[in-house]
Each structure stands twice: as C-alpha cells, then as structure tokens.
Amino acid sequence: MTDPHVFAIERAEVRSGVNLGYVRAGPGGYPLLLVHGWPETKRIWWRNIGALADAGFEVIVPDLRGFGDSGLAPDGFYDLAVHARDLHALLRDVLGHERCATAGGDLGGAVIQDLGLRYDGFVERQVLFNCVMPLLGDAYEAAGIPVTPPREMRMAADYFLRQGREADILAGELDTPERRRRYVGEFYGHRFWATPGAFSREDVDFMTEPFADAQHLRAGWGNYESALGTRALSEAPRFFEVSSVPTLALYGPDDHVIWREFPEMCEVAFTTLIGPFVVPRAGHFLQWERPELFNRTVEYFLRDLTRR
C-alpha cells in the first residue's frame, strides 16, 4: 500500500483561497473524516481507507492546509481553529454533510477535538489515539496525573522547539529535497515514535516524498509555531475545556513523544469515553502499525451510524 496513485485525489477550494486535496471513498456511506498529524499527510491512512469504505463509510481523508496535495495558507495561519474551520467547510459546504464521525492522531487528534467543540453536534463521535490533549492542568493535577513531562519526552522534544522557535534556521539547514526527506524519515525510525520495524525503507520513502518540497515542509511547522507563540493565531483554539463528544480512545505505548499518561488524561478530558484501550505493538502511527485492529475497532464503534 505504498502506491500514491491507488486512490484518486480530489481538490476543492473550501474557503476563499484555501485549497485542500483529499481522498474520498465509499460515497453515500456515513461520513467518516480521517485527519493526519505531523510528520504525516493523508498517506498515513492508506491502510485504512479501503477497509472502512467497505464497512459502509464515506471515508474522507484530506491533507491539512500546507501539507501534501493541499495549498499553502493564503492568510499564513496554521493553527487548530483554522484547520477545524477548513475541514468543516470541506464536509458541509463542499460535500454536503451535516454530521460526521472523525478519527485522528497527533495534530489531527487535536484538530478534530476543536472541530467537535467548535461546531456543536457536527461531530457525532470521535476516535483519538496518541494525540495532543487539551490543556486542563488543574483537572489533571486533581486526578493525580503528573503535569511535568517525563524525562524521555523532554529528551525527544528538540524537534518541537526547533520547529516552533527556529523554523527558518532549520529550514536553511535542510536545503535540499534529500535532506528534507531524511529529516522527516527520522521520525519513522530512530526517534522511536513508532514500534521498531513498523516502517520499511519503502514505507519511509512513501511517507516522506510530500515533504521534499521546501514550502510544504516549512508550512507544516506553522502548527508548532502557533503552539509556541512565535506565529499569530487565527483565533483561540477550543482546547481548554472538557468535551462531551462520545470518544473512543486508543493508545500505542511504543511512542516516545506523547505523554505516557495519555490514557489517564483521556478519562479527565472526555465525559463520554470508551476505553482508553492500550494497543500492544503500536506507537505514534497506530493506524498504520496495527491497521486491521484499528479498522475493526472503528467499524464496531461506529457501526450503528452506517445503518441510519
């Protein structure tokens, strides 16, 4: 499943000057939005699209603005709120959906959380795994969850700080397509975000190819700049509150970048929660590392929605 042409790419101007590329499979089924994170594009879902379409979903898999086949941001914004508004426009205004289910990890998980809170009732259910969690410091502390990142997480954070605070310097160092791809490829290998051996050389080539373009790689770091305050926000994110969207939470433990307390944090952050379930032999890229398990779990969690 490393053929970039196995699924047709559609494109749409979802808002003024904002052009998104996306894959859509299973038209007529219940809409299921799959949202990638960083350093990913929609390709991270290549092992899930067909199976979920066969299960009765209209599977919609976009590249966020600045990633893959989507255009750069005309307004310079790459924060959670602007991503959520882009996706709402894609599903409602372009594709005509008033409701959907969502799934996402990493940045994508944060985006769909914002989407569900920003548009009340639009997201009927969400599936989250190994993603950024809402900032609920006092609530986590009251539940006995550590609020200081563990040592291994701090050791892995150099990329986060450089991309958020020294993005132009880092971009200057990665001055060829080969260097850009090698940099991104590290996150699928020795940085231990994934279960060791989960990505072959061919897989890494497939995932990194969209990041060979200097502008798209640099744009992807805009999300980190927004989080660290070195890039302006389009508006405040919906990321400081508990969510009542029914949520299925999965966690791949072979991940050195997401809080190990992710499962416990989910119990605080979501009032209607299934799980959290720990998935062995999975890390940050759970949907790619354990696709059969992921696909079956999502199908069962959302099965009744396909029968409406």
Domain boundaries, the chain: 10-145+235-307
Share of the chain above pLDDT 70, in %: 98
Range 98-115 average pLDDT: 98
pLDDT at position 157 over 80: no
Range 208-216 average pLDDT: 98
Average pLDDT, the chain: 96
**pLDDT at residue 152, rounded to an integer:** 67
Cis preceding-peptide flag for 276 (omega within 30 of 0): yes
Q: How many CA atoms within 13 Å lie on the side-chain side of 9?
A: 15
Cis preceding-peptide flag for 280 (omega within 30 of 0): no
**pLDDT at residue 65, rounded to an integer:** 98
Q: Which of 35, 37, 138 is nearest to 88 (CA)?
A: 35
- By the 8 A CB rule, do 91 and 79 touch? no
**pLDDT at residue 191, rounded to an integer:** 86
Range 15-19 average pLDDT: 96
pLDDT tens per residue, range 79-88: 999 999 999 9
List CB contacts of 193: < 8 A, sequence separation 6 or more.
Answer: 187, 255, 256, 257, 283, 284, 285
Range 73-92 average pLDDT: 98
Range 126-153 average pLDDT: 90
CATH architecture of 10-145+235-307: 3-Layer(aba) Sandwich (3.40)
**pLDDT at residue 147, rounded to an integer:** 78
Range 218-236 average pLDDT: 96
pLDDT tens per residue, range 289-306: 999 999 999 999 999 999
**pLDDT at residue 127, rounded to an integer:** 98
Q: Which of 45, 84, 116, 20 is nearest to 226 (CA)?
A: 84
Share of the chain above pLDDT 90, in %: 93
DSSP 85-124: HHHHIIIIIIT--S-EEEEEEHHHHHHHHHHHHHSTTTEE
**pLDDT at residue 296, rounded to an integer:** 98
Please compute Rg for the chain using Cα positions: 18
223: pLDDT confidence band, cut at 50, 70 and 90?
A: very high
pLDDT at position 155 over 70: no
pLDDT at position 250 over 70: yes
